[in-house]
Amino acid sequence: MAQQESDAIDQLFSSIATDEPGCSCSFSKNGEVLFNKAYGLANMETKTPLQPSSVLDAGSVVKQFVAASTLLLVEQGQLSLHTDIHEYLPELPPYEHPVTLYHLLTHTSGIRDWTGIRMISAADEDALTMVLRQKSLNFAPGEQWSYSNSGYVLLKEIVARVTGLTFGEFASTYLFEPLGMKNTTYTQYPDKTSNLALAYEKGKSGWENAVLENNDRGGDGALMTTAPDLLLWTQALAQQKLGEFVTNNLLTPTRLNNGRELSYTKGLFVTSNELGKLIWHTGSAGGYKSLVGHLPAHGLSIAIMCNSGDQINRTALAGRIFRLFAEPQTQSYPPGKEDVMVPEDILNTRSGWYIHKKDKNLLQLTVNKNRLAIVGGPMLSAKSNTHFINTRRNIEFRSEDQFEIEFQPNGSFTLTSMEGQQEIYVPVETYRPAIDELSRYEGRYESKDLKAVFHIKATEKQLVVYLEHAPMQRLPFSPVVKDMFVFRRMHIGWIRDDQGSIVALTYSNPVLKDVRFTRLND
C-alpha cells in the first residue's frame, strides 16, 4: 500500500480522539493484509489504547457463522433445510404453517423478533424462552422478509442439540480453529475475554459504558473477535475453504414464495453498486459496532470494529476506503426517464393516510422536497401526475418490491407489485373522536405471549399507552380511523364483540405484527 493511501485512511478516522473510544480497521487485497490499525481507547478507565488485536463483540456478524455451521450439518446429513423445525425443537408451539431451517436462515420465517418482545415484556428472560412462548407468526413463512434475530437464536439451539456441543464449541472446532482465527470465540461470558475492548456510548454527560449483559444480549453468548480475524473469514469464503456446498449456499440469494429474489442470502447481504458485487453484513451490540465486507471483483476485503457507539459511520467509511482502491465498473444508478415535475398543489392532495381495502393495513403518504414519499418507506418517482414508481429496492420495506402506484379520480390508488399483484388503498377521512369516545378505550390489556400489560388512558386528543411494569414509558397514540391508532411505526387496532364492546387490541411494530392483548375486567 502506498503511503498516500495509508494516510488517506488515517484521515478518514481522524475524528477519533486519542482519549476516546474508537475503531479498529483491517483491509486486504487477494488475502494480503494492506492495512491494520486501530484508533482511540479500548478502556477509558485504564487508558488502554485500542489495538488491531483488541477483541470486540461483533454483534450480528455472527449470523454468517451460524449459517455456515448449519450448512455444514446439512451437508453432513444431520440437518435438512426444508424440514419443519418442530422436528428439532418439538417444544415450539404449533404454527399455522410449517417453518423450516431455510426460513430461519433467510429471515422469511415470520417468527417474532425477540428484541421487539423484550422492549415490551415485563419478564427478564433469555431470548430462547421468549421465542418458545410465541404462538403466532408475523406472516406465512416465505411470503415476506423481516429481519428476525429469533430465527438465529433457534438455529444456534438446533446446532447444539444435533451435535451435543454448545454452539461455541462447534464453531471453534469446525470454523475458527481450522481457519486460523486464533483470537475468535463464541462465549457465554464475553466479559471474561482476554484483550477485551469495552464499549461506550456518548451521552449528554459524556461517555458511558454500553456493554450489553446477560438477557439484554439474548442470554446465549456473543461472537468475540478482532478485525484481522474477520479478514481471515472473508478470505475463507473467497477461496471456498468451507467447501463448495457451504460457500455456494451461503451466497445464494433468498427467494420468496412468489419467486422474488432478494439481496439477503443466509447471514449475509449480497448487493451491487458501481464497484461491483458486494458481500457484507454489519453488527451492533450496545456500543459495539462492526462491519465486514468483500468486493470479489477486486479481491478487496475490509473489517471495521468500533467500541464508540454511533459516533462513527462504519458503512460510509468502508465505502470510502473501498473507493481508494477500486475503480467503478458501472454507474451507481443508470440514467432513466426523468421524473415529471408534479405541481405542488396536486402532490399535497395525495398526502395523508390510506387504508388497504381488504386487510385494513394503514399507509401514510407525505410530500418531501417536492416528491411524494411513503412515511417509513421510499421516495417515489413521478412518471405523471397520477403515476408514481419505487425505483430503489429496500429489503426492509415490502421485501424489496419495486412497486408502482396509480391514483384514481376518486382519490384512491392501486399499488401494483413487481410481480403484478394489485392492492387498492382508499383515502382516510380525518377522524377526531371526542374525549368521551376516547375514554371507552381506557383500561388494562394483557398479552400472555409478551408477558406485558398495557394501561391505556385517554387525553383530549390521544390515547396514552403505559407499560404497567414501566409506567414512566409513555406512548401517545393518535387516531387515524375508528379503532385504529398510530404512534410513529407502532399501530394499535381494537377488537369488538358482536355487541360492539371492546374486548381486545392488537399491537404491531416493524418486528411484531398483530399481537393480541385481551382486555382485563378489573
User: Measured between alpha carbons, how far is 401 from 419 in angstroms, rounded to an integer?
Assistant: 9
User: Measured between alpha carbons, how far is 324 from 343 in angstroms, rounded to an integer?
Assistant: 42
Contact 318, 306 (CB under 8 A): no
Contact 494, 503 (CB under 8 A): no
Q: Is the pLDDT of residue 335 over 50?
A: no
Number of continuous H segments (helices) and E segments (strands) in the chain? 12, 29
Look up residue 425 and give its amino acid.
Y
Strands (E), 247-389: 269-273, 276-285, 288-295, 300-306, 352-356, 362-368, 371-374, 381-382, 387-389
How are beta strands 387-389 and 41-43 bridged, if at all? unpaired
User: Measured between alpha carbons, how far is 245 from 67 in angstroms, rounded to an integer?
Assistant: 12
- Left if phi > 0, otherwise alpha if psi is -120 to 50, otherwise beta: which for 266? beta
Q: Is the pLDDT of residue 266 over 90?
A: yes
User: Measured between alpha carbons, how far is 323 from 202 in angstroms, rounded to an integer?
Assistant: 29
Contact 241, 298 (CB under 8 A): no
Over residues 121-135, the mean pLDDT reads 92
Contact 196, 190 (CB under 8 A): yes
Q: Percent helix, strand, coil in the chain (nearest 5)?
A: 25, 30, 45
Half-sphere exposure in the Cβ direction for 38 (13 Å, CA): 26
DSSP secondary structure code for residue 184 in this structure: -
Instruction: Kindly state the helix (H) or strand (E) to which residue 477 belongs, with its residue range.
Output: strand 470-481
Q: Is the pLDDT of residue 392 over 90?
A: no
User: Measured between alpha carbons, how far is 174 from 280 in angstroms, rounded to an integer?
Assistant: 22
First to last CA, the chain: 71
pLDDT reported for residue 338:
64
Contact 359, 433 (CB under 8 A): no
How are beta strands 413-416 and 422-427 bridged, if at all? antiparallel
| Rounded alpha-carbon distances, angstroms, from residue 89 to 25, 93, 99, 162, 195 | 39, 10, 11, 10, 36
Q: Is the pLDDT of residue 315 over 80?
A: yes
With 0-12 CB in 10 A as exposed, 13-18 as middle and 19+ as buried, what is 79?
A: buried
With 0-12 CB in 10 A as exposed, 13-18 as middle and 19+ as buried, what is 450?
A: buried
User: Measured between alpha carbons, how far is 106 from 9 in angstroms, rounded to an integer?
Assistant: 34
How are beta strands 443-447 and 512-519 bridged, if at all? antiparallel
| pLDDT tier at 61, thresholds 50, 70, 90 | very high
Mean pLDDT of the chain: 93
Look up residue 469 and give its amino acid.
H
| pLDDT tier at 336, thresholds 50, 70, 90 | very low
pLDDT tens string 201-247? 998 889 999 998 776 666 678 999 999 999 999 999 999 999 999 99
pTM of the model: 0.94
391, three cell numbers: 425505483
DSSP secondary structure code for residue 92 in this structure: S
**Count of CB atoms situated within 10 Å of the CB of 377:** 16
236-264 in b/e form (b: 16+ CB < 10 A) is bbbeeebeeebbebbeeebebeeebebbb
User: Measured between alpha carbons, how far is 400 from 212 in angstroms, rounded to an integer?
Assistant: 31
pLDDT tens string 346-381? 999 999 999 999 988 999 999 998 999 999 999 999
Over residues 246-272, the mean pLDDT reads 97
Over residues 487-516, the mean pLDDT reads 94
Phi, psi of 368 (to 5 degrees): -135, 115
Cα-atom radius of gyration of the chain, to the nearest Å? 25
